[in-house]
Amino acid sequence: MSEAVSALGGARFEGLAVVEDCGLSGMITLRGDLSAAAVKKAALAGSGCAVPGERKAVVSDKGALLWMSPDELLVLCPYDEVGARVAAMTKALGKAHALAVNVSDARAVLRLSGPKAREVLAKLSPVDLSPEAFGVGDLRRSRIAQVAAAYWLEDEESFRIICFRSVAEYVFGVLKVAAAKGSAVGYF
Amino acid sequence: MLILECPYCGVKADETELSAGGEAHLKRFGPGADDESFEGYLFARENPKGVHFERWRHSYGCGKWFHAARNTATLEVYGTYPAQVSVPPKDILKTISAAVPGWRWRDLG
Amino acid sequence: MSARLATYGRLIDRTSKLDFTFDGKPMMGFEGDTLASALLANDQMLVGRSFKYHRPRGVVASGAEEPNALVNLGEGARFEPNQRATTTELFGGLAARSQNHWPTLEFDVGQVNSYLARFLPAGFYYKMFMYPRSFWKHVYEPFIRQSAGLGQPPKERDADTYEHFHVHTDVVVAGGGVAGLIAAKAAAQSGARVLVLEQNAHWGGRAPVDGGRIDDWPTDGFVERLVKELEGMANVTLRARCMVSGLYDHGYVLGYERVSDHVPGAEGPRHRLWRIRAKQVIVATGAIERPLAFAGNDVPGVMLASAMRDYLVNWGVAAGERVIVATNNDDAYRTAITLKKAGVEVLRILDARETGGGALMEEARRLGIRIDCGRAVGKVTGGKRVKAVQICAHQGAGGALEEVACDAVAMSGGWSPAVHLWSHCGGKLTWDDTAAMFRPDESRAPTGADGKPMAVATGAANGAMTLEAIAADAFAAGRKAAQAAGFKLKRASAVKADPAPESAIEPVWMMPARARVGLRAKAWLDYQNDVKVSDVQLAAREGYESVEHTKRYTTLGMATDQGKLSNINGLAVLADTLGAAIPAVGTTTFRPPYTPISMGAIGGEARGEVFQPLRRTPMYDWHAAHGADWEPVGQWRRPFAYVQGGEDVHQAVNREVKNVRQGVGLLDVSTLGKLLVKGPDAGRFLDMLYTNMMSTLKPGKCRYGLMCNENGFLIDDGVVARIDEETFLCHTTTGGADRIHAHMEEWLQTEWWDWKVYTANLTEQFAQIAVVGPKARQVLEKLGGMDLSKEALPFMDWKDGAIGNFQARVFRISFSGELSFEIAVPASQGLAFWETLMEAGREFGIMPYGTEALHVLRAEKGFIMIGDETDGTVIPQDLGLGWAISKKKDDYLGKRAQERSFMASPDRWKLVGLETTDGSVLPDGAYAVAEGSNANGQRNTQGRVTSTYYSPTLGRGIAMGLVHRGPDRMGEVIEFPGTDGKTYSAKIVDPVVYDKDGEKQNV
């Protein structure tokens, strides 16, 4: 393997909230019937997690598992382990009609954190991000400004955000604008 | 700006998260179809002021296509339902009949 | 003259002085002033000129309804025209300039229009600028453009930032007056999340000015306590300086927060647009006082009675020293009483009602104010200031009974509820004959997604005009909204205000009631657009019956104030002239925004670097550092060419083309779509999507395919590689990746949902690099790894393996006609791989090439490009691609459409090569002319250029085009007139002009 670099190359911005590149992350798209035993087995093999509920993210010591749609999960794992995980998942799937494919390089992962993180994201995404509506482990696929993104709340004060690699700089850019000093809304 | 609930992921989606996909429940005509049927399939669309059935895609969300029964005049939404059906569910038809007695849409109503 | 008093001024802080300038003249105001109150405190009665007649105008109102006091504000990068002085908070160093005059505000040449007023009636432009037709372009339009427009456009890039904020809440309360605050508390007591937005910087609306008592507290004390209480509630958010600008479908509410207009240059955004989803909206937007339409009602010094009261109570400014009050209702008596108590001389109250008013009249009389009932203003005299009022009988034609010298006139024609928000999304109004106003019809509220009402109007906005009625109405409205939002009501005690009964208003739409023509032509309805009573009457005489038509003909209510003061008076005059009832004429449509909002707020964060998403490949920075001249391809930026040394772009392209043909070039093709299609039905699915047969493709092989839509038109093309029995990798065009992925999902989800296929968009997973040219294999072999010989990896095969240290997938496909390897590596290693190739290729003269060289190379080979040769009306058969259409398949998307008679017609324009007779380059998009002309006198056409380039390989221009029966006309010369005046002659030839047998790519 030759030198791999993330799209944002470790970028970091500190304003109302901290916006930072999470670096390379292993990601595997798993499509299939989420209630099928083989798919559950593959998800577990890939992430160490059981299939989460609708619009939830779950974490284990092996990785994380995100509910993306009624027939799609996203496995997160260390970047270097993707090959082995895909192989394990493929083996677990056996003859089941499903798809497990490495998408680690197709995406960028960012973290948005700090007490004002909800407010910063709410400037860009048409989602109810109030604490009563969006809690730890909740995941949403939506829009960040003009591009598609998925994000979930890792802990009370930090979001993990996934977007396409080609627009990583754009997403970082709009988050920077939204987190500009002096722009606190004071709503949440 | 409308809000439509995606029947697949349960999100009450903002219109900016959705893409409109035109009229619902079209029947495809392919090779072998006569000119009139094919023309109807390709070009003839309902454009009602009132009850309408549409296709939408949760394009910024789970990516699924779904159907919406709504009123183009009042913007009332009677319901959304999966795209894998060729006729609207009965409970939605009932809701529409209660709201708009005597409604008609193609051969429904 | 207007002046600051030593007392009054509840909103100003006299210890904090602020310097500002108006038209360069230094002035002084206080913290808490608006620009309007500060101007009046400095006796600046004249603040601008009107739009059409350039009449001198002064401040007439005290809030968002102000039509006259618009100024140019700020300088340089913070310059903004048309800012309302009445809603502009004063700050130190504020620089305002008056508008719409030349050379100065005091002396304005354009005022000549005022003397020509009788030649510039309603519809003047429509009548005058009709004939002769040829005059429009060179005479009329330049003239109109010269005189059109308010203020000046900013010249510099805006220095400020703006942002959006998305909020979901249960109840939004629009308006922080007593009604809004009482309703907010009543709603919040149920547990609902409540967001209260107030356009001004202070709470309580006009109640503290008007007096009265609520729950045994004076209004100002009541407001102060209530605000404090609301601030302490966890489920309530209060936001001042935030106007609800519109109510839209499904409870979508826009709030326009002016975060730092009052502290320019402060850190943070200037404006914030709140994009709110609310279950219920409480419309507590108050009411707007109507002017009286008497002659000279636009002379500076004539002001709304409520505004005059506001300036006194809120800012300690007296609008005049000797004031006459004209009214048709009790409320204006409050102004007279307040002025009198403050020591201002109130010369007369002219009450159009024969019997006058009630308790307030008695109070005024007790204070010694003279009250004349049944009397009216016949005319106000004065130019830049009020000099005198001619008093007449209201029920007459305006014959002056006496003339009284004064310097200000307070007028009140009654109040109109601010029903804008209620109406924006379909709420209907009802005419209240007793109160002479349109108010919200509760039974026809705007409805939401569930078909149920989504708004509740309350307070003055709901037509409740006394404090007692407002308090009761607001409490009920808050509870109603909470209940409608799904909350259970809890026991709470109602809010009660002391009764203060008023006697009935008498509608006055024109003053005096039978004013003669001369007076009607000086009685303004719309100040900003200069529409008078006589204009509306003329429109009615000329046959305008619809209020919407009259509005557009006279321009009534079409200015930046959107007729807040003029619309009701105007439609009443129209109704009167037509002999119709006011509700039969109806109102014009209320459209958002309530008052203009900044373009910056609408744009939000989308400016500068993040104006739109810019998609970058992993090698983007390398390209940028090596002379890339960028070409936007959708949202991607791809290098058009790499400009080196002293060459221009054209020379760079030629160099790059030659280098590929003779040596080896490198192209970043990462942007091409890569869609994975997997499942037992994948082959069957692709057979439907492509015109070709894909199910027969063998694993390890590639096939070029075409995709059509159901109309039969070509929508995309690309190479499909079969990965294994169940898996295909479909390449799409750069612009097609997302679109074709969506297209696949659409058919899978909505038509063939029982087919077992999954797709994944892997476009960005891989950096893909084309290594192209006769020396391509040598470069790759130098790096070592997999066997790339012709035998191991023949043309149109693909293989996984190692190249140097990289794990790669190599496709033997060519879009240039040369030996070509398209190599995919994980995107994170794209840059490293690219640099490795550049290094390894140095000895072979490797160079990167851009999209323009790519285009030239493919055009020399006669390869089509989606978007050049296709435009959404072209079928594969038009392009000579019949070979890529399977004859064995019963069906594919577009097959039936391609059988339609027009599609099968031999008369279609078809693809050919075009060779200019002199070797020049055909203009892109040029049309070939045919004999004769069409119904519009234009030449008939017989074809057009779709791709045209200079070919450095051949040393002359090459082109492709679609020509009527083109392939049957080889050798014929046709003519293309260019926009440069020249006519180009081109011979119809074969589109392939380089290596016709395809030997070079197959080595």
Chain segment C957-1001, per-residue pLDDT in tens = 999 999 999 999 999 999 999 999 999 999 999 999 999 998 898
Distance CA A56, CA A152 (A): 8
Distance CA C475, CA C496 (A): 9
pLDDT at B49: 96
C895 touches chain B (CB under 8 A): yes
Beta bridge partner(s), residue A10:
none
CB C866, CB C962: distance < 8 Å? no
Distance CA C520, CA C512 (A): 9
Residue with structure tokens 């324009």?
A: C909
Q: What's the pLDDT band for C127 if we cut at 50, 70, 90?
A: confident
On the question of a cis peptide bond just before residue C103, with omega within 30 degrees of 0, the verdict is yes
CB A152, CB A57: distance < 8 Å? yes
Local structure of C188: helix, strand or coil = helix
CB spacing of C165 vs A119 below 8 angstroms: yes
Has residue B105 been placed in a domain?
no
Q: C510: closest CA among C495, C522, C527?
A: C522
Structure tokens at A186: 């004071």
Q: Which residues contact C576 (CB under 8 A, 6 or more apart)?
A: C509, C510
CB C987, CB C975: distance < 8 Å? no
CB spacing of A142 vs B8 below 8 angstroms: no
Which residues of chain C does CATH 3.10.20.440 include?
A: 1-157
Positions of E strands within C50-112: 56-58, 70-73, 80-84, 94-98
**Which among C251, C451, C897 has the least Cβ separation from residue B76?**
C451
Question: Checking DSSP bridges between strand C46-49 and strand C714-724, what pairing results, if any?
Answer: unpaired
pLDDT at C118: 67
ipTM above 0.95, yes or no: yes
Local structure of C291: helix, strand or coil = coil
Q: Domain C291-413 is classified in which CATH homologous superfamily?
A: FAD/NAD(P)-binding domain (3.50.50.60)
- Run of H or E residues at C375: strand C375-381
pLDDT at C104: 77
**Which among C165, C762, C766 has the least Cβ separation from residue A123?**
C165
DSSP symbols for A90-113: HHHHTTSS-EEEE-GGGEEEEEEE
Local structure of C783: helix, strand or coil = helix
Distances (CA, A) of C422 to B98, C71, C247, C481, C498: 26, 30, 8, 14, 28
Local structure of B81: helix, strand or coil = strand
pLDDT at residue A104 is higher than 70: yes
**Identity at C927, one-letter amino acid code:** Y
CB spacing of A142 vs B61 below 8 angstroms: yes
pLDDT at residue C113 is higher than 80: no
Query: CA torsion sign, C77 to C83 to C85 to C86?
Result: negative
Q: Domain C517-580 is classified in which CATH homologous superfamily?
A: BFD-like [2Fe-2S]-binding domain (1.10.10.1100)
Distance CA C527, CA C290 (A): 12
Distances (CA, A) of C94 to C25, C26, C32, C71, C99: 11, 10, 14, 12, 16
Q: Which residues contact C125 (CB under 8 A, 6 or more apart)?
A: C144
DSSP symbols for C111-178: GHHHHTGGGS-TTHHHHHT-SSTTHIIIIIHHHHHHH--SS----S-----EEEEEEEEEEEEE--BH
pLDDT at residue C517 is higher than 80: yes
Nearest CA-CA distance, residue C637 and chain B, Å:
23
In Å, how far from its chain's centre is CA C235? Answer: 32
Nearest CA-CA distance, residue B73 and chain A, Å:
25
Beta bridge partner(s), residue C707:
C690, C716
Chain B hits for A53, CB-CB cut-off 8 Å, are: none
In this structure, whether the domain defined by C906-1003 belongs to CATH 2.40.30.110 is answered with: yes
Chain C hits for A17, CB-CB cut-off 8 Å, are: none
Chain A hits for C618, CB-CB cut-off 8 Å, are: 5, 7, 165
Chain B hits for C251, CB-CB cut-off 8 Å, are: 3
In this structure, whether the domain defined by C162-287+417-484 belongs to CATH 3.10.400.10 is answered with: no
Distance CA C596, CA C594 (A): 7
Q: What is the mean pLDDT of residues C165-176?
A: 98
Domain residue limits, chain A = 12-178
Q: C561: closest CA among C96, C117, C51?
A: C51
CB spacing of B60 vs A140 below 8 angstroms: no
CB spacing of C161 vs A3 below 8 angstroms: no
The fraction of chain C above a pLDDT of 90, given in percent, is 91
**Which among C804, C828, C832 has the least Cβ separation from residue A24?**
C828
pLDDT at residue C128 is higher than 90: no
Nearest CA-CA distance, residue A71 and chain B, Å:
9
| Helices marked H in C207-341 | 207-210, 219-231, 305-315, 331-341
Structure tokens at C477: 């409205």
CATH number (domain holding residue B88) = 3.30.2270.10
Angular region, A122: left φ>0, alpha ψ -120 to 50, beta rest: alpha
Q: What's the pLDDT band for C145 if we cut at 50, 70, 90?
A: low
Has residue B109 been placed in a domain?
no
Local structure of C508: helix, strand or coil = coil
Has residue B39 been placed in a domain?
yes
Distance CA A114, CA A18 (A): 6
Nearest CA in chain C to B98: C451
Q: What's the pLDDT band for C146 if we cut at 50, 70, 90?
A: low
Distance CA C345, CA C324 (A): 9
Q: What is the dihedral of CA C801, C805, C808, C812, to 10 degrees?
A: -80
Q: What is the mean pLDDT of residues C74-87?
A: 93
Nearest CA-CA distance, residue A149 and chain B, Å:
8
Chain A hits for B17, CB-CB cut-off 8 Å, are: 126, 142-143
B1 touches chain C (CB under 8 A): yes
CB spacing of A143 vs B16 below 8 angstroms: yes
Distance CA C526, CA C521 (A): 12
Q: C635: closest CA among C772, C763, C815, C825?
A: C763
Q: What is the tens place of the pLDDT at every residue in A111-139?
A: 999 999 999 999 999 999 999 999 999 99
B21 touches chain C (CB under 8 A): yes
Distance CA C517, CA C534 (A): 7
Positions of E strands within C311-374: 317-318, 322-327, 345-351, 371-373
Distance CA C336, CA C366 (A): 12
Average pLDDT, chain C: 95
pLDDT at C265: 83
Q: What is the tens place of the pLDDT at every residue in C777-811?
A: 999 999 999 999 999 999 999 999 999 999 999 99
In this structure, whether the domain defined by A12-178 belongs to CATH 3.30.1360.120 is answered with: yes
Question: Checking DSSP bridges between strand C317-318 and strand C217-218, what pairing results, if any?
Answer: unpaired
Q: What is the tens place of the pLDDT at every residue in C358-416?
A: 999 999 999 999 999 999 999 999 999 999 999 999 999 999 999 999 999 999 999 99
Touching C: which chains, 3+ CB pairs < 8 A?
A, B
Nearest CA in chain A to C252: A126
pLDDT at C121: 74
pLDDT at residue C243 is higher than 70: yes
Q: What is the dihedral of CA B79, B84, B87, B92, to 10 degrees?
A: -20
pLDDT at C710: 97
Q: Considering its fold, how many domains does chain B have in total? A: 1
Distance CA C167, CA C196 (A): 13
Range in C105-119, C221-235, C287-301 the model is least confident about: C105-119
Chain C hits for B75, CB-CB cut-off 8 Å, are: 249-250, 447-449
Nearest CA-CA distance, residue A167 and chain B, Å:
15
Q: What is the tens place of the pLDDT at every residue in C916-969?
A: 999 999 999 999 999 999 999 999 999 999 999 999 999 999 999 999 999 999
A95 touches chain C (CB under 8 A): no
Residue with structure tokens 């799209």?
A: A7
Distance CA C273, CA C166 (A): 9
Long-range contacts of C837-843 (CB under 8 A, 24+ apart): C837/C666, C837/C769, C837/C771, C837/C779, C837/C783, C838/C666, C840/C779, C840/C780, C840/C782, C840/C783, C840/C804, C841/C664, C841/C666, C841/C771, C841/C775, C841/C779
Chain A hits for B10, CB-CB cut-off 8 Å, are: 54-55
pLDDT at residue C112 is higher than 90: no
Distance CA B9, CA C628 (A): 43
pLDDT at C149: 59
pLDDT at residue C67 is higher than 80: yes
User: Range of B61's domain?
Assistant: 3-99
Please name the CATH architecture into which domain C1-157 falls.
Roll (3.10)
Chain A hits for C676, CB-CB cut-off 8 Å, are: 99, 101
Q: Which residues contact A134 (CB under 8 A, 6 or more apart)?
A: A118, A127, A128, A140, A153
CB spacing of B8 vs A70 below 8 angstroms: yes
pLDDT at C143: 66
Average pLDDT, chain B: 97
Residue with structure tokens 């006394």?
A: C466
Axis-axis angle for helices C851-860, C649-662 (nearest 10): 50
Distances (CA, A) of A51 to A38, A42, A63, A73, C768: 12, 10, 13, 8, 34
Q: What is the tens place of the pLDDT at every residue in B29-71?
A: 999 999 999 999 999 999 999 999 999 999 999 999 999 999 9
Q: What's the pLDDT band for C99 if we cut at 50, 70, 90?
A: confident
pLDDT at A2: 57
- Angle (CA) C168-C169-C172 rounded to 5° is 120
| Helices marked H in C587-719 | 599-603, 620-625, 649-662, 682-689
pLDDT at residue A1 is higher than 80: no
Q: What's the pLDDT band for C134 if we cut at 50, 70, 90?
A: confident
Has residue B106 been placed in a domain?
no
Has residue B104 been placed in a domain?
no
Q: C322: closest CA among C343, C306, C351, C305?
A: C343
Structure tokens at C492: 């709470």
Distance CA C215, CA C222 (A): 8
Residue C100 dihedral angles phi and psi, to the nearest 5°: 65, 45
C766 touches chain A (CB under 8 A): yes
pLDDT at C51: 79
CB C64, CB C595: distance < 8 Å? yes
Distance CA A177, CA C930 (A): 56
Chain B hits for A54, CB-CB cut-off 8 Å, are: 9-10
